[in-house]
Structure 1
């Protein structure tokens, strides 16, 4: 995720009003010491920067939105107010760069200027732009009549009374007084100095003029200090002296991904020619920002390649631990001590009709979701229709819109505006969908991995201008999602009948079942089968394939490490058949891994084929090894397990175990 670290957007709280409180006010509250005769000219030269509210809402709600509870101006205004701009000459206007950039890929209308009478003026061409200094100079397509412009003082004296003029909290242009207290070097190179002043500034003031004691323009209001009651302005001489015909992008940037703590620091330094129209400006700007994100992520991953899971010593423990069967997905991340581990727990559970459910959790900025397909939803519809899947999530009430303090449930996000398929590093097919939330000027980006009982999802909310960044992150993070493939045999049948939703690993996996007769599993590593005499084979048997990451001849793979078949889905029925893969651990890992491997190799308890009674369950294990390969001991062993409720004679348990292992073959070494 790109974190823009230079300039006001990065270091301080911006003064742009992003909450959609844009209201037009025509009055100017004047400071007592400013000559009243100057107010009309100041007001004529100062404008709100506005964006049109969305004309179409693709969302559906459980009830009508209580818009009547909003203040009159807010509910009747057709625009959101996001900042302030001002005139410095004939059809020459200035605002903050970050105010103009609010329109990049926005779901609202493009930024426009609005005067005190409510007239709206589209932006014409961008003439100057600086990302680091955070200003833009532009024209209007059809400027207002007259030549109202602020007089300029490019060399103001310190310790004078100043006036911050701007669209305070979206309620119209307000003038507030204070003192020009000091100058401070900008943090990147000290190439210029910020003006610090004590006049109050509110969200919406960004891009507004800072006037001196005689009402002349001395700076552009840009930001507020996070630690003290002082605000910052760019000296107007920096705007006037900037080269015309250039968009200059020179700022520090950082890049970080939610997999480890390492941060990629760099400097974005590029430019492109001006003047251009607003749409062309946005296109050129975003292309350079996206290209920089591509470069930064590539550099970050290259820097971490030696220790990026499954590489490096920090991966060894996770690669050799016993396979984990989890009903909820997790994300593999690296801790500060360098160890990779699976994180992310279910935090909420929502039941759906037809035995469906939605389980949610999260890691950092990312949501993790497991969606079980309701019995009444056809597999073809579920796997093939992104809208229907998202509508199932919406049923839980996880999407809500707040209006006037009331939360209204969103029942549908509509159809995604963009869809694609992403194959991760392990050739797992993720269905990518992007939905819009126009009222919030935000996107929902969902990466969905089909599994037999439904889907696993990686979800992020993001501003539209960060869609490329978010998808870069999620493209990479999808390869770090740990998920168990589970479902009833009936659900597995639907899944296996649809090759398009299967990972490449399933080309080497063959699962067969003949109800009341036989279950079989075959892969390039293992073959086994058992009859109903071992465990009844029914449509509601619950099959879990414990996929995991491990090394095969030194190469990382994603493959099955555990095959578990429960007699049925009832939570109190623990009858099951299990076949699990184990690997010889390298020296230096946990003692419990080495101890287990020694027991497996020696066929010691509990892997000795002797039944035992534990927690109301009879259990019996045996070790199955690959065919001998000379004098070299095997580095891979499998266990065969059978469990059944209640007490059972040793002979009966051993007989079941023998049926399970009768045709079992380990075909890897």
Structure 2
């Protein structure tokens, strides 16, 4: 559901997504003395259970060293189950817990939830009998009865009386804590019922436990904690008893959000399906309904925003008309509340790898963005076709670890992905899509990898297993807003271009060709040019950057090359570049219009006159457009070299670059 997705993903595997999903009650409080009759307490203890999920048996991860499990408390390291909440018996094989507690295992990687009593016996769930998403409860039966102890319901409790919150606080056993039933407050969405507010302490693990009156009768189901005050919330037990029998009811207002849009999509997740059903069938049905709803929400959101979506919306013009720059680190093109589209995401950290490789990282919203440069000694075929090896390079950042007591043990391998597929975005770029499982926290890693000449541009999420489908559809939509240019040495480009499955359509439609020591050439549907080795040495260590822009022709927008730069090598800044420039639209500010005026009139620095720029000399010119009084686009050529050179030598260099330059009809 959307609330699970909205939680912030983090680099650290130490975030327990199971807890984020299942334990909504936060904060700890001292255990207060309970004054219930000892006989009642014995019955309460016997009728109250832990809700548990099996711990992972097989771990697909590899670590930098053996896990120091001896640092964990004895109970934690020996327990085969993970405690996620509380449930209680109402008699006649009827058991109740919070809906979100059982749903913590929807899409589970380790096994279905079960109940465990104080003696450690585990009881499998038989059938789900009632369920409400909005009221957040589930009533179910067990395959084997633990005993005959049950709680009696009181559907008409009195305000300002003593109450007792019972639950498996912090997963360390059932405790009873007292307080007052202070008030009722209408449910937030449409006031269909009233929450019970009470002051008895509740902690993570109390979710789904009973709220009792002074006679030990259950009056509510403990569900959540107020964020701003020391008051907790329970659903009146009458709402559970009066809910439709044999029915799962889904009726909840949810908000769908996409990281590149400032507008949200609000919708009512509304459905019903018949019960009883096994937990497996229940979770499968619910998961499908949730997935379908999220797909509809995403579709509706994109449709609602279709007129303003980049690159068609008027707020796109600034990006479309800016002088193109090269950016090999992936960013997202996002819409802000001022109505403009802009770039979000930048490199925040870089970790070197052997063989001149590196992994650069940053983030936008729920997404980790990375640029992985392939180490020189790693064969391209193995690199692009071995996701296990690729992920092991990403893990070398050290951001991913497993906390064991006070230690943080680095994860060195995730093994092979559990699923591998491909996806082609709206700009005809081929993404590789991988999913890895992290069973020990019931989470999955979703990775979208775009092959580029020197490695990969990556977009990645860590999420609860139950929202993997949600992340998948989100990330597919986000690929249309990923901005990244392609760069690498000519040696890397040669290998990259040889595998057509790695290429975006924009590169398939053009031609990059070079012959070491002789020439470099490029051709597309818009331009063609070539230059000899005498202009700039053509060698394997030349660095070629190809930038992409958005071309609108006959109402269809396509991604095509709009900037090429060839540097002499990684250390020498001598370079050649060719750029496309668009005529500004009327809504753009004067800076765009002044820059365009310089191009139209071939003013400095586009006048073909060499000039000094620090320690280098530059020369640039505008290529004559096709016969048109008001051209829609212009191309500039540029040459730069270190040191001071004679003007006539610089002009000779420019002539070599422009001699074979062709402008084609749009």
Give the corresponding residue for 2:612. 613
Superposed displacement of residue 2, structure 1: 2.8
Which of 654, 666, 669 is the aligned partner of 2:663?
A: 666
Structure 1 segment 25-40 matched on structure 2, within 5 A: 31-40=33-42
Deviates more, 1:434-443 or 1:334-343: 434-443
Counterpart of 2:92? 90
The change in CA–CA distance for 1:32 and 1:641 in structure 2 (over 3 A counts) is closer
Q: Do 1:16 and 1:205's aligned partners in 2 also have CA atoms closer than 8 Å?
A: no
Q: CA deviation at 1:5?
A: 11
Alignment-derived partner of residue 649 in structure 1: 646
Secondary structure of 2:104's partner? helix
The Cα shift of 1:422 comes to 0.8
**What residue is the counterpart of 2:586 in the other structure?**
587
User: C-alpha distance in 1, partners of 2:201/2:122?
Assistant: 27
| Alpha-carbon separation, structure 2, partners of 1:626 and 1:665 | 10
For structure 1, the residue ranges without an aligned partner over 5 or more in a row are 7-13, 22-28
SS in 2 for 1:116: coil
| Whole-Å separation in 2 of the counterparts to 1:651 and 1:419 | 57
SS at match of 1:90: coil
For residue 480 of structure 2, give the secondary structure of its aligned residue in structure 1.
helix
Equivalent positions of 1:225-240 (< 5 A) are 225-240=226-241
CA contact (8 A) 2:17 2:441 kept: no
Partner of 1:424: 425
Residue deviations 1:582-617 (CA, integer Å, cap 9, x gap): 111112312222112111111111111111111111
Cα gap change, 1:167 to 1:32, in 2 (>3 Å)? closer
In the TM superposition, what are the counterparts of 1:439-478 in structure 2 within 5 Å? 439-478=440-479
Distance 1:437 1:587, change over 3 A: same
**Which residue number in structure 1 is paired with residue 106 of structure 2?**
104
Aligned to 1:636: 633
Query: Aligned residue for 2:12?
Result: none
Alpha-carbon distance between aligned partners in 2 of 1:32 and 1:515, rounded to the nearest angstrom: 85
Give the whole-Å Cα distance in 2 for the aligned partners of 1:473 and 1:103: 22
Q: Which residue of 1 aligns with 2:621?
A: 622
Q: Is the 8 A contact 2:22 2:100 kept in 1?
A: no
Alpha-carbon distance in structure 2 between the residues aligned to 1:596 and 1:259: 29
Aligned to 1:577: 576
CA distance in 1, matches of 2:411, 2:4: 32
Q: Do the aligned partners of residues 86 and 177 (structure 1) sit closer, same or farther apart at CA in structure 2, a change above 3 Å counting?
A: same
- Find the counterpart in structure 2 of residue 25 from structure 1: none
For residues 657 and 649 of structure 1, the distance between their equivalents in structure 2, rounded to whole angstroms, comes to: 13
Aligned 8 A contact 1:255 1:297 in 2 = yes
Q: Tell whether the 8 Å contact from 1:17 to 1:204 is kept in structure 2 after alignment.
A: no
Which residue is equivalent to 1:410? 411
The answer for the alignment partner of 1:2 in structure 2 is 2
* 2:492 alignment counterpart: 491
Residues in 2 aligned to 1:5 and 1:511: alpha-carbon distance in whole angstroms: 42
Q: Which residue of 1 aligns with 2:9?
A: none
Q: Which runs of 5+ in 2 are unaligned?
A: 7-15, 24-30
Counting only pairs closer than 5 Å after superposition, residues 203-282 of structure 1 correspond to structure 2 as: 203-282=204-283
C-alpha distance in 2, partners of 1:441/1:103?
Answer: 8
Matched, 1:183 2:180: no
**Partner SS for 2:665:** coil
CA distance in 1, matches of 2:648, 2:385: 49
**1:378 alignment partner in structure 2:** 379
Q: In structure 2, do the counterparts of structure 1 residues 402 and 668 end up closer, same or farther at CA, with 3 Å as the change threshold?
A: farther
**Are positions 1:47 and 2:49 aligned together?**
yes
Q: 3-state SS of the aligned residue for 2:423?
A: strand
- Cα separation, 2, equivalents of 1:618 and 1:553: 41
| 2:309 maps to 1:308 | yes
1:254-278 residue CA offsets vs partner (Å, 9 max, x unmatched) = 1010002101111111100000100
Q: In the superposition, relative to structure 1, how do residues 15 and 39 fare at CA in structure 2: closer, same or farther (>3 Å)?
A: farther
Q: Within 2, Cα distance between the matches of 1:212 and 1:381?
A: 66
What is the alpha-carbon distance in structure 2 between the residues aligned to residue 553 and residue 598 of structure 1? 26
Match of 1:354 in 2: 355
Q: Give the deviation of 1:168 after TM superposition.
A: 0.5
Q: How many Å separate the matches in 1 of 2:250 and 2:459?
A: 33
Q: Which residue of 1 aligns with 2:598?
A: 599
The 10-residue stretch of structure 1 (589-598 or 252-261) with the greater mean CA deviation from structure 2: 589-598
CA distance in 2, matches of 1:148, 1:585: 78
**Inter-partner Cα distance in structure 1 for 2:35 and 2:354:** 68
Which residue matches 1:115?
A: 117
- State the distance in 1 between where 2:42 and 2:496 align: 71
C-alpha RMSD of the superposition? 1.8
2:553 and 2:104 mapped to 1: Cα distance? 49
Q: Distance between the aligned counterparts of 1:15 and 1:599, measured in 2?
A: 56
Decide whether aligned partners of structure 1 residues 191 and 15 sit closer, same or farther in structure 2, where only a CA change above 3 A counts. farther
Deviation at 1:20, TM superposition (A): 11
- Aligned partner of 1:502 in structure 2 is 503
Q: Secondary structure at the match of 2:323?
A: coil
Aligned-partner Cα distance in 1 for 2:32–2:177: 7
Q: How many residues align?
A: 650
Q: After TM superposition, which residue ranges in structure 1, 4 or more long, deviate above 6 angstroms?
A: none
Mapped partners of 1:81, 1:463: distance in 2: 17
Q: Deviations over 1:464-523 (max 9, x none)?
A: 111111111111111111111000000000100100011111221101110000100001
> Could you tell me which residue of structure 1 aligns to residue 130 of structure 2?
128
Contact 1:16 1:83 in 2 (8 A): no
Q: Quick one: distance in 1 between partners of 2:609 and 2:217?
A: 93
TM-aligned CA distance change 1:569 to 1:91, over 3 Å? same
Distance 1:185 1:30 in 2: 28
Give distance in 1, aligned partners of 2:531 and 2:343. Answer: 33
Shift of the 20–66 alpha-carbon distance from structure 1 to 2, 3 Å rule, reads farther
SS in 2 for 1:54: coil
